[in-house]
Chain A
C-alpha cells in the first residue's frame, strides 16, 4: 500500500510524522521544565533530589526524541536540515550546548569528586530547561516569521545576517513562542512531579506551580494567537510552486483546515483542564491532560506551518527560496522506504509505554532515594 502512494501524499505523510515526533518532544520537555523548578520549588536538598531524580529517569527519552526529530527532518526534508542548521548556525549550536550540559549533569551531579560541584551541574540543568527551550521556541517561531536566507541554483544556502539565527530571538513573536514553551514546560514538569513524587510538601508546591506558570504563559500565548490570526503568511501556488505573501494566511489555514482548529482548541482546553485538575481538584492525572494537550497544540502549529499550500520555512530575503514540504523533501523512493521503516514506530511506542508503566507504578519517595539502589545516583 505504501508503495502506491504518490510523492505529494508521502511528503504530507512525512510532515505529519515529523510533526508527531516534534509534538511528542514538546510534551517530553516536562523534563526541562522540571529542571527549572529546582531553584524555585525545592526548599531543601531532599526536595531538590526528588525533582532531579524524577526528571532524571526520563531525560534520555526527551533527548532521544529530539535526536529522532532531527533525524526524521534530515531523512524526509534534507533541504530544511541543510538550510536551517547550516544557516541559523548559532541558534542551533547554543541549543546543542545546553543539551550537552544536560546529559552530563544528571550523571555527574551527585558523584564524589565531580570536578565542578553539584551546584554547577544544577545550574547547567536550569540553563538547558530555560535557554535551551527558549531558543527551540524561537527557532520554531521562524516557521511563521521567516528568516533571512537565500538558496542558489544548487540549493546552497547563504544566510544574510551576521547573527546566523540568533536574530530570531529578538522578534516578539519568536520570543513569545520561546517563553510560552518555557512556561508550558514548567507547567508540565510540575504536573509530572505531582503525578510521580510521594512527598506531600513538594507536591503541594508543585500544584500551585502549575497554575502560576500557566498564568505566566498566557500573555505569550495570547501574543502568539493574535499574531497568527492577523499576520500575513507565506503561501504557495500549488500549480507553479511560486511563493507569495497572503494576508491572513494562517487564519485562512485555520478556517480551511477545521481539524487543525479543533486540534488547537482541544489542545489548549486539555492543558487548561490538566492545570485545573491538578491545582484545584487535587488530581494527580493532570500530566496526561497537559501532555495530550501539548501534543495536540504542537500538531496544530506544525500543520499551520506546513499544510494548505504554505511555505514552512520562509525566506525574507528571497521569497522564492522559501521551503515547502514539496521542494524541501527527499525523493519518492526515500520517503517510501522510510515509510516502511516508520511502521515500526507503534511497536517502539508500545514498549516505551509498557516500561514507563512498570517504572512509574510506584511513586518516587525519599526512602527510595536513600536506599542502596538510588543512593548517589542522581
Chain B
C-alpha cells in the first residue's frame, strides 16, 4: 500500500468525493425543482384551475423522491468533515463550523417544517398557506445552499481569519468577510443558477418524453413553457456568473485557472483552448508540449482573466517555479518560507512547553514573518502545488460546451411552443429528453473543476489535504468507502426506478 498516511488521505478524498458527487446528483434538482413547483402551484392558486394542481402534484412527487436521498447524503457530508478530516475540523473549525450551524438554524428547519405541509397539508391548511409553504421549501433549500457555499467559498479563498499559534489553528476575525467573500457570492450565484438550469432541463426533458409518447400533452406543454423560460433566464445567469467565477479564479486561484486551460507557460494575449487533447505525460517544468492537439482562440484567456486581450496570464510553470519578470513567487520559494514557519512554530511550542518565554517570543517573531506561506511548508515538492491538469481541463471544457448548448434547447422549445408545433418536433423532444443526462454531466463537471482544480489544498494555500486528514488506518476508510459505494448506488438505482415508474404513471396518479 506504500505510505500509510498517503493511502489514508487518498481513501478519504475518494470517500468524500464519492459522497459529494452522489449528493450533487440530487441537490441541484431539489434547488431548481422546488422553485418550479412553486411557480406551478402559484399558477394553480391564481387560476383555480385543477389541471395546474394535478401538474403541481406530479412534479412535487418527483421532487419528494429526489429530496429524501439528497438529505441523506447531505448529513454524511457534514459529519465526514469530522470523521475523515479531523485535523481540518480542528484547524479551521473556528471558522468553518459557523456557516454549517447557521445553515442548520436558518435553512434546514425551514425545509423540514414546511416540507411536511407541502406534502401532507393540502387538506389541513388553507390554499394560501400551502402555497406559502411550497415557496418556503424553495427558499429554505436555496438558503442552505448559501451557507454551505459560504463554507466552500472560504476554503477556496480563506479570508477574515488569523492563525493562532498557541492553539495551532485558524480563528475567525471578521464574520462578514467570511460570509460576504466575493468567492462565496460567485459560488452561490453560479451554483444555484446552474441548478435552476438543470431542474429546467429535467422538467423540459420529462415533458418532452410525454410528447413523444403522446401522453399528457397539455400538461407537458404547460410544464415545458414555464421550465424553458426559467431555464433560459437561469442560463444567462450561469454564463454571467461563470465569467465572474473565472475572473475571480484568475486573481485568487491562478493555478486553478491555468489548469482549467492547460496553460503551463504564462503569456500575454493568452489563448483559450476551444478543443484540445492534453499530453498526459506532461509535467511542470519539462519541455514537452502541453497538448497533443489543440484549437486555440488567441487572447480570450487574457480577456477572461483580466478583461484585457493583451494582458499576461501566468502558467503552471510560473506558479510552481516563480517568474521574476512578472513578480510571481512560485511554490518552490514559498516552500522554503513555509518550512521555516513550520519549524519556528514547533520551536515556539517547544519553548513554551519548557517555560522559556524569551525563546518562545523569538521563535514566534520569526514564525510571524513567514506564516503567510505556512501551508507550502507541508509540501514535499513544488510540483505538488499543481492540481491534476487533465481532469480539470476536460471537466471545465465539458461544462462550458454543454452550458452553451442548453440555452439553445430552451430557445427552440419556446420558439416551437409559440408556433404551436412543439409536438411535431420529434428530434427536438428527443434532444430535450437526452439533455437531462447532459445537464447532470455538466453539473458534476463543474464541481470537479472547483474541487480537483484547487488540489492539493483543503484550504487554499494554507492546509494541504494530506495534513487535513484524520489519523486513522486506511483500511477503515476503505471499508466505509465500499459500504457507501454500495449503499448509494443501491439507493440511486431505487430512486431511478421509482422515478421512472412515477413518470410512467404520470400526473393522473
Contacts and interface: CB of A to CB of B under 8 A. Distances in A.
State whether these chains interact.
yes
A89 B289 CA distance: 45
Contacts of B86: 82-83, 85-87, 156-157
Nearest to B76: A96
B116 A104 contact: no
B472 A331 contact: no
B114 A103 contact: no
Interface in A116-147: 116
Contact of A358 (B122, B129, B470, B493): B129
A351 interface: yes
A81 B93 CA distance: 9
Given A71-B97, A75-B101, A103-B71, A358 B124 contact: yes
A376 B57 CA distance: 13
A359 B90 contact: no
A330 interface: yes
Given A81-B89, A100-B487, A359-B117, A334 B105 contact: no
A302 interface: no
B182 interface: no
Given A96-B76, A155-B169, A358-B129, A334 B94 contact: yes
Interface in A29-71: 57-58, 60-61, 63-64, 66-68, 70-71
Interface in A320-378: 330-331, 333-334, 337-338, 341-342, 344-345, 348, 351-352, 355, 358-359, 361-362, 368, 371, 373-374, 376-377
Interface stretch (B225-233, B308-316, B385-393, B496-504): B496-504
B108 A104 contact: no
B371 to A, nearest CB: 15
B29 interface: no
Nearest to B488: A100
Nearest to B164: A331
A154 B168 contact: yes
Q: How large is the interface on B (under 10, 10 to 19, 20 to 34, 35 or more residues)?
A: 35 or more
A114 B112 contact: no
A280 interface: no
A358 B120 CA distance: 11
A106 B69 CA distance: 11
B109 A108 contact: no
Given A64-B104, A68-B105, A351-B113, A75 B97 contact: yes
A242 interface: no
A374 B120 contact: yes
Interface in B335-358: 349, 353
A58 B120 CA distance: 11
A249 interface: no
A68 B83 contact: no
A99 B117 CA distance: 22
B65 interface: yes
A117 B106 CA distance: 36
A106 B71 CA distance: 12
B497 A115 contact: yes
B96 interface: yes
A74 B81 CA distance: 9
Interface in B479-509: 480, 483, 487, 490-491, 493-495, 497-498, 500-502, 505, 509
Interface string B77-106: 011011111111110011111101111111
A58 B175 contact: no
Interface of B is mostly: helix
Given A79-B90, A338-B98, A89 B470 contact: yes
Nearest to A105: B68
B47 interface: no
A296 interface: no
Contact of B73 (A60, A100, A359, A376): A100
A67 B90 contact: no
A189 B125 CA distance: 25
A376 B120 CA distance: 12
Contacts of B46: none
B436 to A, nearest CB: 19
Interface in B280-336: none
B82 A82 contact: yes
B476 to A, nearest CB: 6
A92 interface: yes
A247 interface: no
Q: How large is the interface on A (under 10, 10 to 19, 20 to 34, 35 or more residues)?
A: 35 or more
Q: Which of B93, B500, B502 lies at the interface centre, i.e. has the most chain A CB atoms within 10 A of its CB?
A: B93
B260 to A, nearest CB: 32
A178 B115 CA distance: 30
B98 A60 contact: no
Contact of A60 (B96, B115, B501): B115
B240 interface: no
Given A106-B68, A113-B498, A93 B480 contact: yes
Contacts of A344: 105-106
A74 B93 contact: yes
B123 interface: yes
A89 B472 contact: yes
Interface in A177-193: none
Contacts of A84: 82
A102 B72 CA distance: 8
Contacts of B353: 153
A198 to B, nearest CB: 14
Contacts of B244: none
B168 A155 contact: yes
B89 A71 contact: no
Contact of A373 (B81, B106, B120, B502): B120
B121 interface: yes
A104 B120 CA distance: 17
A116 to B, nearest CB: 6
**Closest 4 A-B residue pairs measured CB to CB?**
A86-B86, A78-B93, A85-B82, A75-B97
Interface of A: 57-58, 60-61, 63-64, 66-68, 70-72, 74-76, 78-79, 81-87, 89-90, 92-93, 96-97, 99-100, 102-104, 106-108, 111-116, 153-159, 162, 164, 330-331, 333-334, 337-338, 341-342, 344-345, 348, 351-352, 355, 358-359, 361-362, 368, 371, 373-374, 376-377
19 contacts: A60-B71, A60-B112, A63-B75, A64-B109, A68-B108, A74-B96, A74-B97, A86-B86, A86-B89, A89-B472, A89-B476, A104-B494, A108-B495, A115-B498, A154-B168, A155-B169, A348-B109, A359-B117, A376-B509
